[in-house]
Structure 1
């Protein structure tokens, strides 16, 4: 049955002629690396309407995960499917070095065979990597996520402890929806989903701390469990932890909004770029005003917890001077003594700057593609004919095989776009 389904899908792809490849590698339960193969193509239905389809066709075992090994596997698979790599017009996968590498990655090796197989990185995976990079930017960030995971592990490892936790939440005023928020395990692969893990602590930190105290005060629990509860309760009362919690929740909230947009079935290039620009603009503004905002919100949490609004005194470290001229640079020679400024420099700025640079880097290729195709995504607002003709001719050159063959004729495409614009239904 599987062979028949695969044969049917491949026949559709061959009828469409042009296709895009969507690939991903993942280990199965037996620890064997497998490549999932998905084709994206246009299918004409019996009623003459068309639809864009994405169809899974195979798992292919991988023994060599380098760019060279992956490319050999992909070319062999296409040969087995009876498909010509020259008809490939797109390739999309994650931003791993073996996949996206500019010199020896899979996308580069496919483009060497067919320059019209344009590579577009997976938007959501790119966003994941942005957050993943930022999550390694400082010790307070690592401590924050480690503490959130410790909280989940402590309560979820025992039904008795979980019941105690739920009982503590039931005594609270509950969330704005009337339903208490429970702790969530940190997701290893979907970083933007960690907002769910932070949300329960962000909005119910008083109740979570009370659950830890109840656990600590109950002599029926093991000593190591009670000790862990006491350690975590102390951590929740730390002012630096509260700022980290607030800051990361605000950042992940914004990224999660964009991530949901990127998962839409109908989103196009310009909309993706707009979503990414919203993140970039947010980070720029957040760098200027976010720390002060986080301080205000953290102070409110501290007042709810009835704990002191105060940073831990920083440990002073003087960097050894190797050269006489180094004394002239006070910023490198003198340690920061203001705890608030030190926390901003060591936690807040690395987080925001790392995320911003990662956004710019991860979506560089996507922005380059968008500039070539974006005029096709809004036929209601085509540029004037002269500019449109230039864009169509540039697209003709882009869709050329490097010789005399091109998928389109720029002048004809220009005429067709102008004509079809009059036939399109008006919105609203």
Structure 2
């Protein structure tokens, strides 16, 4: 039986189908499960001894049928769920990450992930996220999504009052402040801090006058940025395409290629590509942080603040630096460093005095026009996206900001705001004692090593050195802060597994099998620890 379980876990971890076109042993296309059983039987005497009587029909009950496969999948999924539930109960607090997407059968699947902080004496502390399962929803309204989630939490035996955070994608049915999942969960548990952050993605479409940021031109611009494609090579390829299309008499391709070649081999395209590269290079640091379940909001807020500061400074005086970078590439590529001019329609004048007043926009230099219509809207769109992320952290910072790290603890002690912060936390969460927290934070400022700078590092130091009894309320406060997730990337990653498991060839898969296969695949580390 252990060998069959190992085969099930292996196939599920690799997101492979179990059955093929037939279920006859020693036949082609009989599926991955039977194929692995036959392979093991050739070398393993135990498996061979089990397969031989079944092949000779000496026994009717064996472990190679589809029913046994489905039962094993379900049992392993249940064991993984039990292990996850036990970890969540031991951690004391948890947060929920939810997101929705339709599957290949057009069934709306609600992905539920739990975010917890675990601590072991003499070992340390760690942040972990565990996929619970996919929950089918018939209606994507806030009430239905909330009922589905709460029903499942109750089945798991978890206390909704221990939920200390909510993280949703940008869907209005989950994230809306008024009548959706966010508000309904808050009505049940006032302590469930809401935080929902996606990867900041400044969109070129926000810049309505950036005419080059559309269609194929935008795709080529990103290729120039991310893949270091040389502009002369792109231009030569387009010229070859134009020549080939002209010989074939394909006027449509010729016209499109010629227009694209003129567009990308222009000073405006090159300068805009350089600007986008500088903006996205800074935003990329935050995006990478948001892909990790280990990142805390304390670390993330510092990074977002630095990126926001850079973008604001960049919008004020960094157009000239972008021009300097673009000038070197333009000289190498033979691109004229001039902005394209457009013919301006001259208005008709019926009286002589009308010629004395001219349109101010006609006298503005082309560089200033580019800055006003392209550069500033482009950078402002990035600032707007980052600012929205930063606003989500303000309420969180007002509650936990004084324990973000050793530097924040020191500043709160020196500025005499520590007492107010401790009282505010006790009043809001009622999980800590303000007076004891005040004394422990003051003592920790001088006692903690200088290298322990972030909240997670401080908490890990307390656990690894068996100091939990010395700093009980500080430990609770740090656990509460780190329990709130900083990102919803786990939900997005579960959708990737969903698309690999439930393909258009497996649309009739039962919901319990889908969730069990997803759990085995996503929580493979727990799967390997099961006895």
TM-score exceeds 0.5: yes
Q: Deviations over 1:42-98 (max 9, x none)?
A: 335597754332100101123333333322322222222222221110111223333
One of 210, 215, 225 as aligned partner of 1:140: 210
**Which of 424, 438, 450 is the matching residue for 1:414?**
438
> Do residues 102 (structure 1) and 102 (structure 2) align?
no
User: In 2 relative to 1, CA 13–213 (structure 1 residues): closer, same or farther, beyond 3 Å?
Assistant: same
Counterparts of 1:328-347 in structure 2, within 5 Å, are 334-337=360-363, 338-347=365-374
Is the 1:273–1:367 Cα contact (8 Å) retained in structure 2?
A: no
Residue of structure 1 equivalent to 2:337: 309
Aligned to 1:59: 134
Describe the SS at the equivalent of 2:295.
coil
Following TM superposition, by how much is the alpha carbon of 1:426 offset from its aligned partner in structure 2, in angstroms?
Answer: 4.6
Structure with larger Rg: 2
1:367 aligns with 2:384: no
* Equivalent of 2:378 in 332, 351, 360: 351
Aligned residue number for residue 328 of structure 2: 300
In structure 2, do the counterparts of structure 1 residues 254 and 75 end up closer, same or farther at CA, with 3 Å as the change threshold? same
- Match for residue 216 of structure 1? 242
Alignment partner of 1:396 is 2:426: yes
Matches of 1:3 and 1:371, distance apart in 2: 40
Worse-superposed segment, 33-42 or 203-212: 203-212
Relative to structure 1, the CA distance from residue 247 to residue 392 in structure 2 (aligned partners, 3 Å threshold; closer, same or farther) is same
Could you say which residue in structure 2 is the equivalent of 1:250? 278
**Do structure 1's residue 384 and structure 2's residue 413 form an aligned pair?**
yes
8 Å CA contact retained: 1:94, 1:126 = no
Backbone CA RMSD of aligned residues: 3.2
Number of residue-to-residue matches in the alignment:
363
- The SS at the match of 1:29 is coil
Change (3 A) 1:197 1:72: farther
Query: 1:290 and 1:418, CA in 2 relative to 1: closer, same or farther beyond 3 A?
Result: closer
TM score, norm. by length of structure 1: 0.74
What runs of 5+ residues in structure 1 fail to find an aligned partner? 152-193, 320-326, 400-405
Within 2, Cα distance between the matches of 1:222 and 1:59? 54
Q: Provide the rounded CA distance (Å) in 2 between the counterparts of 1:50 and 1:298.
A: 47
Shift of 1:119: 0.9
Give the conservation status (yes or no) of the 8 Å contact 1:41–1:54.
yes
CA displacement 1:196-216 (0-9 Å, x = unmatched): 663335x51122222222333
Shift of 1:137: 1.6
Q: CA deviation at 1:285?
A: 1.3
Q: Which stretch shows the higher mean deviation, 68-77 or 341-350?
A: 68-77
**Which sections of structure 2, spanning at least 5 residues, go unmatched?**
1-75, 348-353, 453-531
Q: Is the 8 A contact 2:113 2:129 kept in 1?
A: yes
SS at match of 2:170: coil
The structure, 1 or 2, with the larger RCO (C-alpha pairs under 8 Å, 6+ apart) is 2
CA, structure 1 residues 311+425, in 2 after alignment: closer, same or farther (shift >3 Å)?
A: closer
Q: Which residue of 2 aligns with 1:322?
A: none
Aligned to 2:298: 270
Please name the residue that 2:230 is paired with: 204
Equivalent residues in 2 for 1:8-23, closer than 5 Å: 8-23=83-98
Q: What is the CA–CA distance in structure 1 between the aligned matches of 2:400 and 2:446, rounded to whole Å? A: 21
CA distance, structure 1, for counterparts of residue 169 and residue 346 of structure 2: 42
Shift of 1:120: 1.3
Instruction: Write the distance in 1 (CA, Å) between the matches of 2:326 and 2:446.
Output: 56
Q: Compute the displacement of 1:315 (Å).
A: 5.0
Judging changes above 3 Å, is the alpha-carbon distance between structure 1 residues 246 and 136 closer, same or farther for their aligned structure 2 residues?
Answer: same
Q: Does 1:279 align with 2:307?
A: yes
Measured in 1, the distance between the counterparts of 2:227 and 2:288 equals 20
Tell me the SS of whatever aligns to 2:206: coil
